Structure 1
Amino acid sequence: MEARTRMLISLFVAIAMTSTAFTTVYSLNMDPEPDPYPQMNADKKVWNGTAWADETTVYIGDTVRFNISVEYVDVSPDDKGYELYNITIKDNLTDFEYIGNPSCNQPGINPDDYLTTDPVNHTYTWFFGSDVILSEFENISTCGTIFYLEFDAKANKTGTLENKV
């Protein structure tokens, strides 16, 4: 049997939501101090064969499935009703080759239609504009308070690899 080299994938989330915008539904906040509400959480996981995890071990050439989630969290005491849009997800796949097979929980969205790539730096950027809106209000939100993006990538190195999003 051929010996295979394996690696450990460790995921470190470094948010790159460069174009994320917040707006109030009811009124424009003219206060010179930025409104501290709402907040968002972002996370990246890898499928380990049975569940989404922070790390897994794979062999060179193995296909792994990643899940990036962005969650709208309204912590405002005023219940203004914010929305989160212009979501940009930037992922650096230095130690992986993007294969595709993308999916998301937004009906009618093909994530690859929103993808731009930088093959030199192995950077993949999805900009969803106003096609994905997160909000606690169903009449505003396009997919609730959590948006997730999943895709496949092929491992192309050994060792402990960082995959940053």
Structure 2
Amino acid sequence: MIHLILTADGGVVLAQQALPWLVNLWIAFLAVVFIGFFIVVVIAIIKGLRWFERSATNSQARFFQDVTAFVNPPPGLEVPPELVVVRFHTYSGILIYVLQYEHLFCATPTDARKVLWRMHWHNLTRGFFAYGILLIPLLSLANYWAQLRSISRQEAGISKQP
């Protein structure tokens, strides 16, 4: 600590005094506490993000429960005529951390509608908390309607085939 000392002739002398050992110990203790707190917060954030990713993956695994669908068919694969092809994006997120997945699958029209509804509901519940709080539900709804029309068109094409 630096002190100003006035001399008898009106001058100023700067004098430095060492901090007492107790103050030094207190500063070291606070430094350790703040660094420890920072490390705990970083670890908690990382664990929370990993939990969120697992939760989103588990939620997406339930999309295809109780339905028969071929997920991610390879390009150029001839799709059987009784199946429809659906492409839909799902979003999961909390504020600035957002996961976006594109799903491409083939299924019967009834199963495709069921899976499509589950994906849309996922966007409304899990994508709602992302940074696109108003945008994601609207995008999901527009994509949902477009895919329903696509399923109907493909279904009409199926019924016209001999």
TM-score (norm 2): 0.28
Which structure has greater strand proportion? 1
Give 1 or 2: higher helix fraction: 2
State which structure, 1 or 2, has the greater radius of gyration over its C-alpha atoms: 2
